[in-house]
Structure formats: C-alpha cells, structure tokens
Amino acid sequence: MRILKLIFKNAQRHKLRTFLTVLGISIAVIAFGLLRTVVTAWNVGVDASAADRLIVRQAVSFIFPLPYAYREKILQIQGIEKLSYMNWFGGIYKDKNQFFARMAVDPETLFDVYPEFVLSEQEKETFQKERNSCIVGRDIARQYNFKIGDVITLEGDIYPGRWDFVVKGIYQPKYKTTDATQMFFHWQYVDERMRTESSGRDGDVGWYIVKIKDPNQAGRISNQIDALFKNSRAETKTETERAFAQGFMSATSSIITAMNVMSFVIIGIILLVLGNTMIMAARERTREYAVFKTLGFNAKHLTGLIFGESLFISALGAGVGLLLTFPIVSFFEQNIPKGFFPVFQIEPITIILAASSALLIGVLASIFPIQRALTTKIVDGFRHVG
C-alpha cells in the first residue's frame, strides 16, 4: 500500500507535466482509434462477402457492361442455384455531395442472392409489381427521413434525364456488416426508357451475381462461365465476391495502407511522449533513489515505483482517450455521407489494440529509468545535481 501511495504521489509531483503527458497519450489514442475505424469501415465490404456468391463482370474493366443475353447461358451451368444482375445507375440526389449507391436491379431475383437484405413480404411484392418503385436501406431512410410513398427524384448522369422513384420498401440489414445505405430500383424500367430514347445504353447490365450450391466449386464454375464467352465481344471475368470487393477497392488501397501504417506510427509517438516524461522524472529523483537504497529499499521496490508510475500515467491517458474516442467516432458517423462508409463503428480489435499498446508502452517507457536507478551507486546518487 505504501508503494502504491508513493506511485500516486510521484505522478502528481509535476502536475502540469503529468497532465500534458496524459493529454498527449489521450490525443494519440483518439487518433489511433479514429484511423483504425476508417480502415476497418473501408474493409467491411470484404468482410461481408459471402462464400457462395460469384461476380461475373466484363474482363477489361468493371465499368464496361455485359449483354443481358448472357443470363440464360450462365444459368445452364451445373452448380448454379440462383442468378441476378445489377447496373450502377449513378445519378445525383439534391447535389453531388449526397452520395449513396443507386443501382438498377432485377427485383425478382435480388433477394434470392442477397438474403441479408430483409424486407417484409408485402413490401417485397409491391416493389416487384410496380415498375417505378424503389427500396432503400434503413440507414439511408434515417439520414434523409424517407418514408413509404415518398418520391425520390434523381438527376441522371450516366442515364440522362429526370428520374422519379416511389419508395415502396425500407430494407433492414440482417448482419451488422450488411450495407444498409443503398437504393435499388427496376432495371427493366431503366432499360425500357433507354430503348424509347434510343440512347444506345439499353440491353446491357453491369454485372451478374451468381449464387452457387457448393462454395468449393467456385473455381470450376468461374472457369466454365468465362469459357462460355471467350473470344466474344464482351469476355467475362468471374471471381468470388470477396475478390471482387478487394479489386473494387484496389484503387484506394495505397491510401488505406498509409492510414493503417500511420495509426501504428502513433503508437511510437506515445512511447516517445511517455518515455521523455519518465526519463526526466528519473533524472530529477536520482538523489531520492539513493536515499531509498540507504533506507533499505531493494531493487524490487524501486522497480515497482518507476514501473507503477509509468503504467499509471499510460493507463490513465489510454482510458481517457478511449472514453473520448466513442463520442468522436459517433460524431464522424453522423456527419459523413452514409454511402462512403456503410458501417462506421469501433471494432473490438481497435479497442484491444489501443489499450494493449498503451499498457505495453507504459512497460517500455519504464525500462531505461529503472535500469538507471538500479545501476547508479548510492554515492553517485548523492553527488548528482539536477
């Protein structure tokens, strides 16, 4: 108990220095938590990928379409359970800053391949029957206060013109990693309008989603699909949903990697901040440690004093930082467009990494001061001026 009391008293000896150290550690922990949350939020699409889903896209690039006629040929391959398709619509809602995924889909098969989009049977039937209907995710509905019956007007860019869609359903995410920030409407509705306007954008889909019976057959089925359209005007590349999601994010992978590295550089900054504080404290107390040795304090006692103070300061800074990280991340979640980060929340691994790193730094920052205190002779300690 006396050692604990001394640890607490020592930490309060230079209140301003201790306060600034705790503040520095807290800010670093907050920055670490926020950066790691951005990284994990960006990768959530990969984590949410299903093992039994394949994506069939244009071999040259994802941005090029595929003929609708491919649908029946793909369905003939053995091992395929369900098939659907999507088309990136784009468009502008209100202004260009209001971003969320807007896609033309096949309403009859969408929920067969994506059972994680939960919709009531009545909403599903209404959506499938009415050509100008749409459904939106729960998070988008909350952000823009969409209700059943509301009309969402989009200004087309890829598909020019004014487009009005009536909200007929709000889907709920089945899992926490399910994207609830999307808007879906009828591909047939878009295709028919493009045909009447002779735009040249009709008859094509963006990509096919294939649900297979056995995930172990993904390689075989992928090869068979691609072989069907080899040397055609639109060759295909079939890959697992995880590989597709990773490829989709590859353009920004360097930025995410940099953020990931930077989050761990912050750990080094914490070490420097706390290490500097402990070294300064050890130098100032050189004579005190000599007195302690004279009074019979052994190496275990001195180690406990220095180690305890370092751990106390690091734990206090980490605790304050983690407590503040939650409201700060929540603030960012409320103020960034939902479409950029469908799931923006602190993962347990982020908390574990932040807490364990701060405590480890508390241990590392005490090593040099402990070594100095234990190796300094009593006589040299009394002679020390500083």
My answer on whether 198 and 301 are in the same domain is no
Only one residue has tokens 């939902």, namely 338
CB-count exposure of residue 327 (10 Å: 0-12, 13-18, 19+): exposed
Mean pLDDT on 175-191: 89
Which of 226, 248, 270 finishes a domain? 248
pLDDT at 107: 93
Strand, helix or coil for residue 82: strand
* CA dist., res. 106 & res. 285, Å (int): 74
What's the pLDDT at 341? 64
pLDDT, residue 40, reads 77
Pairing between β-strand 133-137 and β-strand 161-173 as defined by DSSP bridges: parallel
Per mean pLDDT, which range of 146-150, 243-247, 252-256, 321-325 is the poorest? 252-256
**How many angstroms separate the CA atoms of 180 and 178, rounded?**
6
Residue 137 identity (one-letter amino acid): G
Report the pLDDT value the prediction gives residue 136, as an integer from 0 to 100: 94
Confirm if 332 and 34 have CB atoms less than 8 A apart: yes
Residues 103 and 191 in one domain: yes
With tokens 């299903």, the residue in question is 50
Could you tell me the sign of the dihedral formed by the alpha carbons of 128, 130, 134, 137, in that order? negative
Rounded Cα distance between 256 and 38, Å, is: 8
One domain for residues 112 and 175: yes
- Over range 179-189, report the average pLDDT: 91
Per-residue pLDDT of 46-59, as tens digits, reads: 666 778 899 999 88
Residue 348: DSSP 8-state: H
Residues 257, 263: Cα–Cα separation, whole Å = 10
Residue pointed to by tokens 């729960």: 138
Instruction: State the pLDDT at residue 366.
Output: 82
Give φ, ψ of 54 to 5 degrees. Answer: -115, 150
Q: Are residues 85 and 130 in the same domain?
A: yes
Residues in CB range of 195: below 8 A, 6 or more apart:
202, 203
Three-state DSSP class for residue 182: strand
The verdict on 142 and 69 lying in the same domain is yes
Give the percent of the chain with pLDDT over 70.
89
In a shared domain, residues 8 and 119 = no
82 and 220 in a single domain? The answer is yes
The pLDDT of residue 3 is above 70: no
Whether 272 shows a pLDDT value over 80: the answer reads no
Sorted by sequence, the CB contacts under 8 Å of residue 162 that are 6+ apart come out as 153, 154, 155, 156
Residues 174 and 278 in one domain: no
| pLDDT the model gives residue 165 | 94
Residue 264: give the domain boundaries.
Answer: 2-43+252-383
Distance CA 248, CA 246 (A): 5
Q: How far apart are CA 42 and CA 44, in angstroms?
A: 6
Q: pTM for the full model?
A: 0.70
Domain-ending residue, one of 200, 226, 248: 248
Say whether pLDDT at 316 is over 90: no
Tell me: do 163 and 206 sit in the same domain.
Answer: yes
Which range has the worst mean pLDDT, 126-135, 332-341, 350-359?
A: 332-341
pLDDT band (50, 70, 90) for residue 251 = low
pLDDT score, position 145:
92
Residues 10 and 148 in one domain: no
Mean pLDDT (whole number) for 371-382: 76
Distances (CA, A) of 40 to 43, 44, 298, 350: 5, 6, 47, 9
242 and 151 in a common domain: yes
Q: State residue 210's pLDDT score.
A: 93
> How many C-beta neighbours within 10 Å does residue 128 have?
17
User: What would the two tokens of residue 378 be?
Assistant: 């009593």
Per-range mean pLDDT, top range of 39-43, 168-172, 199-203:
168-172
pLDDT single digits (tens) 70-127: 999 999 999 999 999 999 998 888 887 788 889 999 999 999 999 999 999 999 999 9
> pLDDT (tens digit, 9 = 90+) per residue, 195-242?
776 555 667 899 999 999 988 898 899 999 999 999 888 899 998 888
Same domain, 62 and 200: yes
Number of domains forming the structure of the chain: 2
Decide which of 208, 223, 248 is a domain's last residue: 248
